[in-house]
């Protein structure tokens, strides 16, 4: 267990999948979690209820990570309500997959806007507070696709590769103020999306993974708990691969 008692953690896209697992794990470690969501309020409320039923603390924070002004407004509200933000988990992301020759401009723009610009917006919004308190933990969710590429995902791969560069640059800028910035690069994780894959395709994906299974959202949440704890105070600018060995 990592002691995060009363540390305020903002998790973007925190209502479902990997974000939900991270929110629940950090809350179980004692953090006060702000669960960001954009549209699915019922899922966000369900996550909040599960955290509170387990004895944790959580609030809801509705905003679109791609909206610069909305992000800053809501982050300021969280800081005003809870006093500070110690942890930022940039998890929100979307996919709009298709081959490049068929990709519409809006498919490119929306993925880049949410996946990459969203991380800029949220990180910039918490920076002044973290600089002032001279401590903080930022963890950005990239993807194995951003490292090795994948046909039909040029927009997604570009956004996730950009996150790696952003992470390394931010780590250098923020280290003098006691803030660590790292990235986690998941491989194939069992979520609603992978559950919808045809059985034949799922088996094909699994056959390429040395550990012969999809990862779980909890696998990612465990790494986040470590990176946001005092145990990881000397780690910054790193990309942690959690992919079952599919890309090393």
User: In terms of Cα–Cα distance, which of 35, 92, 105 is closest to 64?
Assistant: 92
Q: What is the number of other CB atoms lying within 10 angstroms of the CB of residue 39?
A: 10
| pLDDT tens track, the chain, 248 positions | 668 999 999 999 999 999 999 999 999 999 999 999 999 999 999 999 999 999 999 999 999 999 999 999 999 999 999 999 999 999 999 999 999 999 999 999 999 999 999 999 999 999 999 999 999 999 999 999 999 999 999 999 999 999 999 999 999 999 999 999 999 999 999 988 788 788 998 999 899 999 999 999 999 999 999 999 999 999 999 999 999 999 99
Q: What is the number of other CB atoms lying within 10 angstroms of the CB of residue 184?
A: 25
Task: For residue 140, give Cα distances in angstroms to 5, 55, 122, 166, 238.
Answer: 22, 27, 11, 9, 10
Distance CA 180, CA 170 (A): 9
Distance CA 213, CA 41 (A): 31
Distance CA 39, CA 167 (A): 27
The residues, any chain, with a CB within 8 Å of residue 43's CB and separated by 6 or more, are 15, 16, 20, 37
User: In terms of Cα–Cα distance, which of 119, 90, 72, 120 is closest to 9?
Assistant: 90
Contact 71/63 with Cβ under 8 angstroms? yes
The residues, any chain, with a CB within 8 Å of residue 94's CB and separated by 6 or more, are 110, 111, 114, 115
Q: Residue 196 region, left (φ>0) first, then alpha (ψ -120 to 50), else beta?
A: alpha
Strands (E) in 29-178, as ranges, are 32-37, 57-62, 87-90, 136-141
**pLDDT number for residue 2:** 62
Q: What is the number of other CB atoms lying within 10 angstroms of the CB of residue 193?
A: 11
**pLDDT number for residue 15:** 97
Catalytic residue numbers?
156
């Amino acid at each position: 267990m990592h002691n995060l008692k009363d540390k305020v953690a903002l998790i973007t896209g925190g209502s479902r999948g990997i974000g939900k697992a991270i929110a629940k794990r950090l809350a179980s470690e004692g953090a006060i979690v702000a669960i960001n969501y954009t549209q699915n309020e019922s899922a966000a409320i369900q996550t909040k209820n599960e955290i509170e039923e387990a004895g944790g603390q959580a609030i809801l924070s509705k905003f679109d990570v791609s909206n610069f002004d909305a992000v800053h407004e809501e982050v300021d509200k969280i800081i005003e309500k809870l006093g500070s933000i110690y942890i930022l988990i940039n998890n929100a992301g979307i996919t709009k997959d298709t081959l490049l020759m068929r990709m519409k401009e809006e498919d490119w723009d929306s993925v880049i806007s949410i996946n990459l610009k969203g991380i800029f917006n949220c990180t910039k919004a918490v920076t002044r507070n973290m600089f002032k308190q001279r401590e903080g933990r930022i963890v950005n969710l990239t993807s194995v696709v951003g490292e090795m590429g994948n046909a039909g995902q040029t927009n997604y791969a570009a956004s996730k590769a950009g996150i790696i560069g952003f992470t390394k640059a931010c780590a250098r800028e923020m280290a003098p103020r006691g803030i660590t910035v790292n990235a986690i690069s998941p491989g194939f994780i069992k979520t609603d999306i992978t559950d919808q894959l045809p059985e034949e395709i799922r088996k094909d994906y699994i056959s390429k993974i040395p550990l012969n299974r999809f990862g779980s959202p909890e696998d990612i949440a465990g790494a986040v708990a470590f990176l946001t704890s005092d145990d990881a105070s000397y780690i910054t600018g790193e990309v942690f691969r959690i992919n079952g060995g599919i890309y090393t």
